[in-house]
Structure 1
Amino acid sequence: MIFLLPALCVAFLASIFTIKVLLPLAPQIGLIDYPTDRKNHNGAIPLIGGISIFTGVLIASTLFIQQSQLLNLYLISSAILVFIGTLDDIYDLRVAPRMLAQALIASIMVFGGGIYISDFGNVFALGNVDIGPFGIIFTMLAAIAAINAFNMIDGIDGLAGSMSIITVLSIAILTLLAGGERDILLPLILVVATIPYLFYNVKRQKTKGKKIFMGDAGSMFMGLTVIWLLTIGSQDNELQTAAFRPVTALWIIAVPLIDMLAIMLRRIKKGVSPFQADNGHLHHICMRLGLTSRQALLAISLLAIVFSSVGILGELLEIPESIMLLLFIALFVVYSFGLQHAWKFTKVLKAD
């Protein structure tokens, strides 16, 4: 941990330097987000936040984290995903090539790194549920789901960044409590590398020419990092024992995961593609209720902190995994019901 402060300083400086360099270049390479019917921001906004965050993580990790095959595969996978996300930001790729790229990244994690989710823990109170090699398929699906969950939730200023910071800090806390002091450097580097982006994205939203967005490159990178850390942290492997139980992972990624699953189910019921964009996400509902973008960000972030805290407390208090799972399922059911009837609720509240 002797390199903690230097590593965080390098991550911060590399991230902010990348923003400074890319701001004037973004319009020249087409890395710009223009207002549309669904995007009511003012003016053309550079989509460089994700690249800056990744650059900070890449440089700080390379310099200060002990090199290993797993770290190298993570950085390679992230680089590929950021590249694909950048192409998507410029050319608006179709769903099929994006999903193919995400599957490739997931296969690198599973087959290259040899990490996958096979032990679900004692979620049914009948002993540990171990799905063995089927965990390979499950983990690839989970990786694609996490990548898209963070991509979908990136709908208002600061939201994807805040969700990432809350989730990654929760992982760091659980890892530290389990005695993994040496394993918290990467999560902390990611958090610090995200701060410059949030400063430009949220704090300077009214300053001409200074606002930036994360872009698909950033939101997908965040999703990959989260699932990578959750998989390592919740599963025993040759190098270390699990830092937390698999069911705890559900709670610390609750908001992006539940929002994605609920809205995809709603789209399927309506007979449209689950990947078809609409205005039914949690942040849209908050703003329909009359909250500003900042207020919605604060409300959703507080909700994510509450859910993460429930997961951490459940871990510390050793609440049975079956109970934690039932509570999570109940949460999902309530959320899905609320999403299905959100417009009725908003009309009633507005009428009052």
Structure 2
Amino acid sequence: MYYSIFVSLLSTYVSILLLNSLSNKLGLIDRPCSRKLHQGEVPLVGGISIFFGIAAAFIICSELQQISILFLISSAVIVFIGVLDDKYDLSVRSRIIGQLLVSSLLIFGLGDYISDLGNLFLLGNIDIGKFGITFTFIAILAAINAYNMIDGIDGLLGGLAIVSFTGIAFLGISSHHFSSYLSVIFITALIPFFLANLGISPFKKVKIFMGDAGSMLIGLAVIWALVYGSQVTAIGEPIFRPIFALYVVAIPLMDMIAIMFRRLSKGQSPFKPDRDHIHHIFMRSGFSSKQALAFIVSSALLILSIGIYGELNQIKELYLLLIIISLFVIYIFAIKHAWKVTKIFKGILKGIRQWKF
């Protein structure tokens, strides 16, 4: 495990430096526009760098089994699709078709999918059988696009991804489970990107973005770690109950659902880009990007902690479901009434600035 961590960390670090210098030749540059208010042109090489770090850890440090090989192949395909999207701005239909292809590789290639939803209503475990294949397709598409849509300010996607993988790794680290191993090497690969994305040493002179290649890779990895972590599969028993998955992906999933609900209520396409995500609300309230980052990631960590507490203490899944549904309702209401929430946040920020220490 320690060797894998070192290889993942080092490979990602080196990849960032190399790809950053080649970004212009590759045409992977993000330029400011009406939706992207960053300063200057920024290389979109974070996702590729993370993939190289993960691939190196798997190939060099572990015995490549069918699950590892198919995951790497699927990851390579999703990164390739993401690179094409970063460079040529693919249509929504093209991206969805590509994501369905990748989902098929994992579901049918390994024969594993979500079939057990847990004991959500205190009547015994809910087994959805073969419908689980369709359910898993939907779950993979939702995760990929949720993490893709939340990528709006520096550090946010990286921070939320680290929180998600930390939850999975924490519950499975003692059993050396595949989901835990996958999560640990993703965390270590994400650290160099997180530092480069925020311009923190040793990357003070290197600024990169994740790009769609990275956000889709993270969504794919998170959902697959959750599938293998929550289901009885060919590789063994689960390490947590299915309800825990909602606590792992809470913020990205809630943001995606709330935004799509708002767009549909306006008669717009659910995939139409806008500036109504949770981080935009904070920014309009006067928070800096780093303040918004700290608040949102801390909120994700708090929600994850509730989920971990529920797992460690085996709190009834119905109660955990009601908690997460309540949070979803509050979140959707906040996005729908963003102007009211903005006003509240402005008052909070004004109060914070008046504090004297």
Aligned to 2:354: none
Query: Which residue identity does 2:104 align to in structure 1?
Result: S
Distance 2:168 2:344 in 1: 39
Tell me the distance in 1 between the aligned counterparts of 2:226 and 2:216. 15
Q: Secondary structure at the match of 2:268?
A: coil
Counterpart secondary structure, 1:184: helix
Note if contact 2:112-2:234 (Cα within 8 Å) is conserved in structure 1: no
Asked if 1:167 is matched to 2:168, the reply is no
1:129 maps onto 2:126 in alignment: yes
The one of 262, 276, 279 equivalent to 1:280 is 276
Unaligned runs of 5+ in 2: 351-357
| Equivalent in the alignment of 2:143 | 146
Matched letter for residue 124 of structure 2: G
Query: 1:175 is matched by which residue type in structure 2?
Result: G
TM-score normalised over the length of structure 1: 0.95
The answer (yes or no) to whether the contact 1:204–1:211 under 8 Å persists in 2 is: no
| Cross-structure match for 1:26 | 23
8 Å contact kept, 1:53–1:194: yes
What does 1:296-311 align with in structure 2 at a 5 Å threshold?
Answer: 296-311=292-307
Shift of 1:65: 2.0
Amino acid at match of 1:271: G
RMSD of the alignment, in Å?
Answer: 1.6
Q: Give the Å deviation of 1:36.
A: 0.4
Residue 353 of structure 2 is matched in structure 1 by: none
Kindly provide the amino acid, as one letter, of the partner of residue 185 in structure 2.
Answer: I
| Corresponding pairs, count | 347
Query: Which of 342, 345, 352 is residue 346 of structure 1 equivalent to?
Result: 342
Which residue number in structure 2 is paired with residue 69 of structure 1? 66
Alignment of 1:293-332 (within 5 A): 293-332=289-328
Match of 2:285 among 282, 286, 289: 289
The CA deviation string for residues 183-207 of structure 1, in whole angstroms up to 9 with x for no partner, is 53221111111111111110349x8
Q: CA, structure 1 residues 248+349, in 2 after alignment: closer, same or farther (shift >3 Å)?
A: closer
- Residue 255 of structure 1 aligns with which residue? 251
What are the Cα deviations for residues 287-315 of structure 1, in whole angstroms up to 9, with x where unaligned?
11211111111111100100111111001
Contact 1:34/1:44 (CA < 8 Å) preserved in 2? yes
CA offset at residue 54 of structure 1?
A: 0.6
The match for 1:244 among 219, 227, 240 is 240
Conserved? CA contact 2:196–2:204, under 8 Å = no
Between the aligned residues of both structures, percent identity stands at: 49
The verdict on how the C-alpha distance between 1:319 and 1:144 changes in structure 2, with shifts beyond 3 A counting, is same
Q: 1:349 to 1:193 in 2, by over 3 A?
A: closer
Distance 2:50 2:321 in 1: 33
What residue is the counterpart of 1:116 in the other structure? Answer: 113
User: Is the contact between residue 179 and residue 228 of structure 2 (CA under 8 Å) also seen in structure 1?
Assistant: no
Kept in 2, the 8 Å contact 1:247–1:324? The answer is yes
Q: CA deviation at 1:182?
A: 6.6
Q: Does 1:79 align with 2:76?
A: yes
- Rounded to whole Å, the distance in 1 between the matches of 2:196 and 2:60 is 26
Any idea what SS the aligned residue of 1:275 has? coil
CA distance in 1, matches of 2:245, 2:178: 20
Q: Which residue of 2 aligns with 1:47?
A: 44
Match of 1:194 in 2: 190
> Closer, same or farther in 2 for the Cα pair 1:318/1:44, shift >3 Å?
same
Structure 1 counterpart of 2:269, which letter?
S
Stretches of structure 1 lacking an aligned partner (at least 5 in a row): none
Distance 1:16 1:200 in 2: 9
- Matched residues in 2 for 1:40 and 1:208: separation? 20
8 Å Cα contact 1:200-1:212 kept in structure 2: yes
Q: How does 1:78-117 map to 2 (within 5 A)?
A: 78-117=75-114
- Supply the distance in 2 between the matched residues of 1:86 and 1:18 (Cα, whole angstroms): 15
